[in-house]
């Protein structure tokens, strides 16, 4: 199975203009991903590419604009560069070894430390300058002399990236670590107007695969078949699309653990505990409050879209308040969240763990409650506690 972008380590290259970031990215990828020029500011928008690089494996490589860009347009480019940090698993700071470490490089290093982003330093253009690596402040940082032009030091750079990516890495699962061989799991997958044609959505695919990997038995059905199915089998878990909670909760006996794909993703992709308070805040919404509904993917909005149509109706029916709503998709997530009383976020299956946690951290720092789709739906159906029983042994 092809590794999705959201599951690949995101390796981003930062640095000043003409430090050779694009040349280095092209050399590592062994293809011309980014435009290379002696003209400062050639890279304008982040360039992102999913690929496989040995010895690292499946990754996403990101080239960014120069952090010392100037002018009004330059500031906008820097903003986009800063946004890339939200999803960065490993930052490679590219420094021109013929120029040395500048103020902007130190600013980036400080930002990496503040945001707790793993980073290393590539002293580029070492073919033009006998590269004495700085000591002192850099003694604990991985520093590699390299040349994007000649390929000198490229193997060492790749090895260093692989080592840092894999350092202290812990295998994470959506459901597999809660299953053993022979367990039966029922997956409730409604096929309605929002279901993609000819396939099932990513969280459902991933859960099904983990069931197979654990040698448990996964049985897929729609809501209409669930009651008859449960007369024939007693599963360990019933995992449903969150939108079906209102029907499924009355069909599944209390002795069977019930949860949803979205709730499992909340635990897998972000920090579950920080979302609990957000669910309860739904009951405290008042007339005129504004709720941000944010989705990590950029799917085509449909006539009965969950984010823009269903959630506003559910919340207004539940609270009986005249609440306002704003919406974001994909990589858009506001820096300033102060206008919102609550953020309701999707499961985050199309963004990586770093970006999901970055969004949660931003909301927490600004004291804005945030909740996941599945948890919000479970809360409004009065079964949030029941839906979280799947995590009781943690």
Q: Which of 312, 275, 310 is nearest to 290 (CA)?
A: 312
Question: Which of residues 303 and 162 earns the better pLDDT score?
Answer: 162
Q: How far apart are the first and last CA of the chain?
A: 29
Cβ of 78: how many Cβ atoms within 10 Å?
18
Tens of pLDDT, residue by residue over 48-91, are: 888 888 888 899 999 998 898 877 777 888 899 999 999 999 99
Tens of pLDDT, residue by residue over 116-156, are: 999 999 999 988 876 665 555 665 789 999 999 899 999 99
Q: Which stretches of 179-244 are DSSP H helices?
A: 202-213, 223-232
User: What phi, psi does 52 have (nearest 5°)?
Assistant: -115, 125
d(CA 275, CA 379): 12
Token pair 């449903």 is found at 240
Asked whether residue 195 carries a pLDDT value surpassing 70, the answer given is no
Asked whether residue 175 carries a pLDDT value surpassing 70, the answer given is yes
- What is the length of the chain? 394
Q: Hey, is 259 helix, strand or coil?
A: strand
d(CA 31, CA 63): 13
Asked whether residue 299 carries a pLDDT value surpassing 90, the answer given is no
How confident is residue 96, by pLDDT bands cut at 50, 70 and 90?
Answer: very high
User: What phi, psi does 96 have (nearest 5°)?
Assistant: -70, 110
Structure tokens at 389: 């029983």
Token pair 């699962």 is found at 173
**Res 298: pLDDT:** 67
d(CA 83, CA 62): 12
pTM: 0.86
What share of the chain in percent tops pLDDT 70?
91
**Res 139: pLDDT:** 57
Tens of pLDDT, residue by residue over 256-285, are: 999 999 999 999 987 888 888 899 999 999
Asked whether residue 1 carries a pLDDT value surpassing 50, the answer given is no
d(CA 85, CA 156): 24
DSSP 358-378: HHHHHHHHTT--EEEHHHHHH
DSSP 270-331: S-THHHHHHHHGGGG--TT-EEEEEESS-PPP-TT-IIIIIHHHHHHHHH-S--EEEEEETT
How confident is residue 365, by pLDDT bands cut at 50, 70 and 90?
Answer: very high
Q: Which residues of 150-201 form beta strands (DSSP E)?
A: 184-188
Structure tokens at 341: 């009383």
Paired strand residues for 282? none
Say if CB 281 and CB 370 are below 8 A apart: no
**Res 2: pLDDT:** 66
Token pair 């597999």 is found at 176
Q: Which residues of the chain form beta strands (DSSP E)?
A: 10-15, 47-53, 57-63, 90-96, 118-124, 143-145, 184-188, 217-221, 237-240, 257-260, 290-295, 324-329, 342-345, 370-372
| Domains delineated in the chain | 5-166 (3.40.50.300), 176-264 (3.40.50.11420), 274-380 (3.40.50.11410)
**Res 85: pLDDT:** 95
**Res 290: pLDDT:** 98
Cα angle 61-45-17, degrees, rounded to a multiple of 5: 85
Say if CB 50 and CB 8 are below 8 A apart: yes
Angstrom distances, CA of residue 197 to CA of 5, 193, 290, 346? 21, 9, 34, 21
- For 10-20, what is the mean pLDDT? 94
Structure tokens at 153: 């030091």
């Amino acid at each position: 199975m092809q590794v999705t972008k959201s599951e690949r380590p995101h390796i981003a290259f930062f640095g000043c203009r003409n430090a050779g970031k694009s040349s280095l990215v092209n050399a590592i990828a062994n293809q011309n991903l980014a435009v290379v020029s002696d003209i400062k500011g050639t890279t304008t928008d982040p360039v992102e590419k999913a690929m496989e690089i040995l010895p690292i494996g499946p990754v996403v490589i990101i080239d960014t604009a120069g952090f010392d860009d100037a002018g009004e347009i330059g500031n906008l480019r820097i903003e986009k560069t800063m946004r890339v940090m939200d999803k960065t698993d490993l930052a490679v700071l590219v420094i021109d070894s013929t120029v040395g470490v500048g103020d902007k490089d130190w600013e980036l290093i400080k930002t990496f430390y503040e945001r707790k982003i793993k980073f290393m330093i590539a002293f580029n253009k070492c073919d033009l300058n006998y590269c004495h690596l700085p000591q002192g402040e850099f003694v604990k940082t991985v520093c590699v002399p390299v040349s994007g032009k000649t390929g000198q030091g490229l193997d060492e750079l790749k090895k260093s990236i692989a080592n840092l990516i894999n350092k202290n890495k812990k295998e994470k699962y959506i459901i597999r670590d809660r299953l053993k061989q022979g367990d039966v799991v029922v997956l409730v997958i409604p096929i309605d107007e929002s279901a993609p044609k000819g396939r099932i959505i990513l969280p459902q695919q991933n859960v099904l695969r983990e069931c197979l990997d654990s040698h448990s038995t996964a049985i897929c059905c729609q809501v209409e078949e669930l009651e008859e199915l449960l007369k024939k089998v007693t599963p360990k878990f019933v995992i449903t699309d969150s939108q079906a909670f209102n029907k499924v909760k009355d069909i599944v006996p209390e002795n069977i653990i019930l949860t949803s794909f979205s709730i499992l993703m909340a635990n897998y992709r972000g920090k579950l505990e920080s979302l609990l308070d957000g669910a309860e805040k739904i009951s405290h919404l008042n007339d005129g409050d504004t709720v941000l509904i944010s989705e990590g993917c950029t799917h085509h909005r449909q006539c009965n879209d969950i984010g823009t149509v269903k959630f506003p109706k559910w919340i207004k029916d539940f609270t009986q308040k005249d609440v306002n709503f704003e919406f974001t998709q994909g990589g858009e997530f506001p820096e300033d969240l102060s206008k919102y009383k609550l953020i309701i976020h999707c499961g985050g299956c199309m963004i990586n763990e770093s970006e999901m946690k970055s969004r949660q951290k931003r909301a927490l720092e600004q004291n804005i409650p945030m909740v996941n789709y599945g948890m919000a739906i479970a809360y409004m159906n009065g079964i949030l506690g029941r839906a979280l029983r799947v995590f009781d042994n943690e």
